[in-house]
Amino acid sequence: MTDLHLVASNSAAGALRFATHKLALPGKVFCLMDDLSLGPLSDGRARVDFWRSLMAPGYSDQPLPAEWNDAFAPWHELRRRIADEKPQRLLIWTSGSGADYVFLRMACHWLIAGDVALWRVPVPPKDGFHALAVHTPEALANFAPTAIAVSPVQVAAMAQEYDDIAMRPELLRESDDQGRLLFKPIAAHDDLLLSCCPDDWTLAARVVGQVMGTSDPRNPLGDMFIASRLQHLIAEGLVEADGPRRTLRDYRVRRGITQPATA
């Protein structure tokens, strides 16, 4: 095998696997299955606890598997695969999102030992959206030849930058239009969520979907994160809920009758 393709999301992995199986893109795909725009980065177990907190009642009745107790386990598995399969290159697929900004630097942190050559595949936006999943497998296969080698000096610098990022207390990370990483409080988008919550009873899933469609296309918000913030706003009395909160399709929400006064 010549190449191992590294991606962060399941949706991106699915498109790339199609490209490797059907479109003659060389290599195999490894998926981290993580969203690095959110949560702590210095401790794998604390990161799992964070994701479990997001999956509290109100989003899904299917919790994280009990055996999943270390969010860094995929990185250990990746290093084992590299040692066993000895690919010539590891291609790290990234968009312009804050999540992928962290993803590239986290890969350098975990793979700085130099057991494989690191290459970066820069994926351009489509219709303003910065994500691999918005592209077809055919488009992704065409991006592969644009891969750029990451030099040992660059790997070391980005690994150090990841260490600095992981030390930050903020739990939300986004990229601006200049490619700079911004650090934000977890409640940064609560006002957007409130603005999408109508005065009339509306299915929670519809409100979450509207927030997803309204959020910054460079840094799209995931449904699990939005659902967790919705639960927070319900607990604060800023949003009312009607019905059992097992999944997003089980209950309705509306803006709270009493809203804080505006200046």
- By mean pLDDT, which of 30-44, 132-146, 147-161, 247-261 is the weakest? 247-261
Single pTM value for the model? 0.93
pLDDT in tens, 136-166: 999 999 999 999 999 999 999 999 999 999 9
Task: Give the rounded distance of the alpha carbon of 12 from its chain centre.
Answer: 11
- The pLDDT confidence band at residue 263, using thresholds 50, 70 and 90, is very low
Task: Specify the long-range contacts of residues 138-146, CB closer than 8 Å, at least 24 apart.
Answer: 138/19, 138/23, 140/15, 140/16, 140/19, 140/25, 140/93, 141/19, 141/23, 141/24, 141/25, 144/19, 144/25, 144/91, 146/121, 146/122
pLDDT in tens, 86-142: 999 999 999 999 999 999 999 999 999 988 999 999 999 999 999 999 999 999 999
Average pLDDT over residues 181-199: 97
Q: How much is the pLDDT for 38?
A: 97
Q: Quick check: 47 pLDDT over 50?
A: yes
- The pLDDT confidence band at residue 258, using thresholds 50, 70 and 90, is low
Average pLDDT over residues 214-224: 94
Q: Quick check: 260 pLDDT over 60?
A: no
